Structures are given as structure tokens and as C-alpha cells.
Amino acid sequence: MDARLDGLREKLGQVADVQAAVALLEWDQETYMPPKGGPARGQQIATLSALAHRLFTDADLGNALRELEDRADQLESDDAKLVEETLYDYERAAKLPEAFVHELAGEQSKAFQAWAQAREESAFATFEPHLAKLIELLKHKADLLGYEGSPYNALLEDFERGMTADQLRGIFAGLVPRQSALARRIVESGRQPDTAWLEQDWDEESQWSFTLRVVEDMGYDLEAGRQDKAAHPFTTNFDLADVRITTRLDPRNPLSALSASMHEGGHALYEQGFQEKDRRTTLANAPSLGIHESQSRLWENLIGRSLPFWKRYGEVIRDHFPGQLDAVTPQQLFEAGNVVEPSLIRVDADECTYNLHVILRFELETALIEGDLDVADVPEAWNAKVKEYLGIEVPDDARGCLQDVHWSHGAIGYFPSYALGNLYASQLFEAILEAIPDLWDHVAAGEFAPLRDWLRSHVHQHGRRKLAREIVRDATGADPSPEPYLRYLETKFGTLYGV
């Protein structure tokens, strides 16, 4: 036994336990906490987060990591990886002085409140000075962390490690013209499927049991997880045997809860698929948000919005809403989940236009961090890009540059992970179809084990042993590329709309 290594695992376990307690408090805050509990909950979370940070940045832990790193060649490969990944986190955390972390957290909290008010009033001016302050602090953060090329790279590292602004520009330059052109052809075709049958009342309990049935069929272990309601659905875990999802119910549209549950179910399968031996360590995590998002979007879109899926679940949903869907065919359910219509709000966007929303945010946030755009000019720049990419006018800031919470949290570099998730999902899916040629027959029979097993062995079990691009390259034989996603979009929507 290696005493140093045991000591490291013990310390990391303590950090993971405190972080799990924070996650549980946050989960409760979004699901069951009574409204007046908010202020005390904020303090509880701040105290425990600071405690976790202190435990993790402890000098003894740093010494143990460096000593282990020096003799990494004598360690088992998993142990060496654990040391390498933990040291990466440790050194990154150590670059940010506590006073700076504290100042940034304080500004984020003020900016979030100002953003909520600004959105309510649809007045960017209320948020503007706070965003300006955050951009200034984030530029400073980039300097503290260090970077090559763009300061944006230092911030992006928190979300998509190893990716750079220039690489993203290259990837997105291939996407924008073809995605915009496809959306334009669809709009100009003037065709839209008949979705009048959706205009009924959809019982919430039936929606609940239907979504649970689907995520259980996907392989989500409800003995090691649960589903609850939340205004903004999310997934969280406190251990691989306790991974929780949330969904939201729309009494006017049962497909909305289905998308949310399958999306979060995809995230949850990932987290239930980490290795037992990685429990309470750095390795039981995804290497990037983009790869995490590939798992949610693969289930939500590539499976849940496919015709084979509805060949099976058309019957299942009919049983859950007796008498409401007797005349509705799998083809109609498939079409209703794939209506393309350029719109103002990212979270409501269809697959065909979604990435365009993300890319315009990326372009604006890189310009802000690189000093090419003044904060005061954000609304004008936003509206111009929406017009250019989506062909629509933005009527007000609430439905424009104030719609997303991310910038108010200081989360610059987050948005690209949504688009990367779509790209990785399509690229992985082409490899899956090659490995499992009768996959669609399985899906049409409600059998997801072959798909889930492939994802377990090629993605989930690795945790942080590989970076996102290594996962994609090892699983597909190629570097991440926008081509598979464009092939998918052009084939699916080209056929659906005859364009």
C-alpha cells in the first residue's frame, strides 16, 4: 500500500463529500425548498463551498500531489491519472488568490440580481455596468490563469478543456453558412406539418408516468436516481448511486416534458456510468461540458426525435393518454417534434437553428473579452446577428441579449459547449451506427441496451481519463468535426421538408 496515495484519496474523499452536500442543498433549492428559505440557503451553500475550496487548496494536499507526480512512472496507470488530473485542478485553483475569488463571487451575485431586474424591465442599461465590471474581472482572471493567443482561451478552459477560440472559429465557420442556408430553404418552402392534434389538455400525471417509463427504458436506474419537477430542468449527483434528474410539465404540450426528461436522462446515464473505483475522486467527472452535453442531446434529439423511436413510443404514449391519440400516427409524432421555425429564444429553438443562437453568443463574448466590442454596444450587435443568422427582428432586450442567465454568473466560455455537444453527439452516432448496424431496429422495439452499452464503454466509464477530443477521436477515428452534424441535419430536415 502507498501511504501517500491513501492519504490523497482520503482528502479528496472529504472534498467530494462536502461538494456533494453543496449539490444536495442546491438540488433542494431548485425543487422543494419553501421560498423564504432562500437567504439562509445562500449562506449555507457559501459556507460549505468555501470549506470545500479550503480543503482542496490545502498546502499538504499540494505537497502530496507533487511528490506523487515525481514518481508517477511507478504508479498504476489509474493512480497516475488521478494524480495528474487532480494536480491540474489544484494548480489552476492556486493561481486565483482568495481575495480575487471573493471579489468575483460578490460581483457575480450583484450582477445576477441586476440581470433579473433588467430582464423583467427589458432594459439592458440596468445590467450594463455590472456586465462591464464582470468583463473587467474576467479579463483579470484570464491574466492570473495565463494563456496563449486569446484571453478567452483561459476562460474556455473551465468548460471545454483543451479547446481554443481559434479552433472554435474554424469549426463554426463551417457550420454557419450551411445551417443558415438550410433554415432559409425551410422557411422559404412555406411547408409546415399539421400539429393541430397537439391542441388538447395533457394530464400532468400521465406526462409524469410516460416520461418515467421512457427514462427507465433508456436504462436510467431509478433505484440509484429519481425524477422531480424544476422550472429549469437539470441533473445532479451526490454519488454514482444517487444521480437525480428534473423535468418540467407543460399542460399544453406533452413533447416538452419528454424532451426535458430524455435530455436529463442522457446526462444521468453518463453519471451513473462512471466507474465504482472512481467514487469520491477527481476521475468520476466528465472532462468537459461539451462531452456531457453530447450525451443529453444524443438521447433527446438523435433518438427521441427520430421516427423509429415513435414507431415504439407512439403506442406507449397512446396508452398513457387514452382516447387522445387514437388517430395520430408515428409519422405525425415525429413531425411534431421536428418543426423548424427561426425564433428569438435559444432554449425553445429547434435543432436546425439552435447552433446559430449559440454561435452568435460565442462571437459576442469573444469580442467582449478580446476588447473588440464595448459592453454598451451589446444590444445592437446582438440584434444585428439575429437578423443576419435567423432572419428575424429582435423586438426588445428581454427577448434579445438579456434572455440567458450565463453572463450574469460570469460564465463566459460556457455557450460553445451546447454547440459542441450537438457536434460530438452526431459524430459519435455515426460510429454507433457503424458498430451496431441494426440499431434502428432495436430503437423501434424500445431496446436501448446496445446503444447504452456502447456509450458506457466508449464514453461514460472513462470519466476524466481522456479529454473530450480524445474520447471522440478514439471512438470515431477522427478529430471533432462539424461534418457529421451537418450531414445529419441536411438529411433529416431536407427529407422532412422536401428541401
Which residues are annotated as catalytic? 264
Question: Residue 93 or 345: which CB sits closer to Zn ion?
Answer: 345
Q: Considering the complex, what minimum distance in angstroms separates the CB of residue 414 from Zn ion?
A: 11
Residues 6+ apart with CB under 8 A from 13: 280, 281
Q: Considering the complex, what minimum distance in angstroms separates the CB of residue 192 from Zn ion?
A: 27
Question: Residue 156 or 289: which CB sits closer to Zn ion?
Answer: 289
The residues pairing with 211 across neighbouring beta strands, listed in sequence order, are none
Q: Considering the complex, what minimum distance in angstroms separates the CB of residue 35 from Zn ion?
A: 26
Return the C-alpha cell found at 192. Answer: 409546415
Asked if 417 is part of the footprint of Zn ion (rule: CB under 5 A), the reply reads no
Task: Show the binding pattern over residues 248-287: x = contacts Zn ion (CB under 5 A), - = does not.
Answer: ----------------------------------------
Asked if 236 is part of the footprint of Zn ion (rule: CB under 5 A), the reply reads no
- The position carrying cell 456586465 is 131
Burial label, 467 (beta-carbon count in 10 A; 0-12, 13-18, 19+):
middle
Residues 6+ apart with CB under 8 A from 474: 458, 466
Return the C-alpha cell found at 416. Answer: 460553445
Residues 453-472 close enough to bind Zn ion by CB under 5 A: none
Contact 375, 435 (CB under 8 A): no
CA–CA gap between residue 279 and residue 400 (Å, rounded): 42
Question: Residue 259 or 383: which CB sits closer to Zn ion?
Answer: 259
Applying CB under 5 A, which of residues 207, 272, 296, 417 lies at the interface with Zn ion?
Answer: 296
The DSSP code sequence of 112-150 is HHHHHHHHHHT-HHHHHHHHHHHHHHHHHHHHHH--SS-
Return the C-alpha cell found at 60. Answer: 499538504
Q: Considering the complex, what minimum distance in angstroms separates the CB of residue 239 from Zn ion?
A: 20
Question: Residue 234 or 274: which CB sits closer to Zn ion?
Answer: 234
Q: Considering the complex, what minimum distance in angstroms separates the CB of residue 488 from Zn ion?
A: 18
Q: How many residues bind Zn ion (CB under 5 A)?
A: 1
Contact 135, 112 (CB under 8 A): no
Question: Residue 420 or 499: which CB sits closer to Zn ion?
Answer: 420
Contact 286, 463 (CB under 8 A): yes
Q: Considering the complex, what minimum distance in angstroms separates the CB of residue 289 from Zn ion?
A: 8
Return the C-alpha cell found at 168. Answer: 472554435
Asked if 86 is part of the footprint of Zn ion (rule: CB under 5 A), the reply reads no
Judged by CB under 5 A, the stretch of 168-176, 290-298, 342-350, 386-394 that binds Zn ion is 290-298
Question: Residue 175 or 420: which CB sits closer to Zn ion?
Answer: 420
- The H or E element spanning position 453 is helix 449-458
Judged by CB under 5 A, the stretch of 40-48, 120-128, 178-186, 289-297 that binds Zn ion is 289-297
Return the C-alpha cell found at 426. Answer: 452526431
- By beta carbon distance, the residue nearest Zn ion is 296
Q: Considering the complex, what minimum distance in angstroms separates the CB of residue 126 from Zn ion?
A: 29
Judged by CB under 5 A, the stretch of 10-18, 151-159, 292-300, 331-339 that binds Zn ion is 292-300
Judged by CB under 5 A, the stretch of 102-110, 192-200, 293-301, 435-443 that binds Zn ion is 293-301
**Residue 377 exposure: Cα atoms within 13 Å on the Cβ side:** 11
CA–CA gap between residue 300 and residue 293 (Å, rounded): 10
Q: Considering the complex, what minimum distance in angstroms separates the CB of residue 293 from Zn ion?
A: 5
Asked if 288 is part of the footprint of Zn ion (rule: CB under 5 A), the reply reads no
Question: Residue 332 or 417: which CB sits closer to Zn ion?
Answer: 417
CA–CA gap between residue 339 and residue 142 (Å, rounded): 41
Return the C-alpha cell found at 414. Answer: 460556457
- H helix runs in 32-123, sequence order: 38-56, 59-70, 77-94, 98-121
Question: Residue 296 or 366: which CB sits closer to Zn ion?
Answer: 296
Q: Which residues bind Zn ion (CB under 5 A)?
A: 296
